[in-house]
Amino acid sequence: MDASSQQQQIFEKFENYDFNNDATFQTGLKSIVGNHQQKSEKEQHEAIQNAKFFYFSRFVQNFDYNQYQAWRAQNAAAANDGSSAEGSKNQGTDGSTSQASNDNTTHSSVAVEDTSVASSSDPAYPKSFQEICELIASGKPIPGIRQIPNNLAEGTPSEAKLAPKPKPWEKKATEVEAAVAESVPATADA
């Protein structure tokens, strides 16, 4: 079994998971919904989807949410291609079938754009701590980690414009010298 079919099974398991009857999830969901009551319906839906992903990844099986969104958009596009071809054959008298498929196609193209923007701007970090350990042990670079050079800035440093502050022992030495200078002339006159 290859990795893509394993991922597909995980994604299908996630989509078919019964979140409505999971008491632990429902307890957490109440607080999330309560915090997002003043927000738009789209933001509420995104918060619920993020909560489902977090819960499923944490307690059932871990997976990459960006890959899931890409898979979901790909499946939606494939389903819309099939349904739009089918819809043109079976179009009703009022044209409602073609309008519904157009709405779905528009939604799926927006979803594809969103996932491509998210995946191109975010570096591909390893999914787990164990993967990071394996990469370090094998000497491979960790994706998403910037390499910082071991040299200092190559430009010439600026010159200091202020005199350095005197150290505490330097302050005492100048005070003692000033006191000695004042007391020496007084003893010489006497």
| Per-domain residue ranges of the chain | 1-63
Helix axes 96-121, 65-89, angle to 10 degrees: 160
**Nearest of 141, 143, 147 to residue 119 by alpha carbon:** 143
Q: What is the pLDDT of residue 174?
A: 73
Cβ within 8 Å of residue 64, ≥6 positions away? 127
* pTM, rounded to two decimals: 0.38
pLDDT block averages, 10 residues each, the chain of length 190? 69 76 77 74 79 78 76 74 50 44 42 44 70 88 79 81 87 78 61
How far apart (Å, rounded) are the C-alpha atoms in residues 176 and 116? Answer: 72
The CA distances from residue 93 to 81, 87, 98, in Å, are 21, 12, 11
At residue 185, the pLDDT reads: 58
Residue 103 confidence (pLDDT) = 43
Q: What is the pLDDT of residue 111?
A: 42
Q: Residue 147: what pLDDT?
A: 77
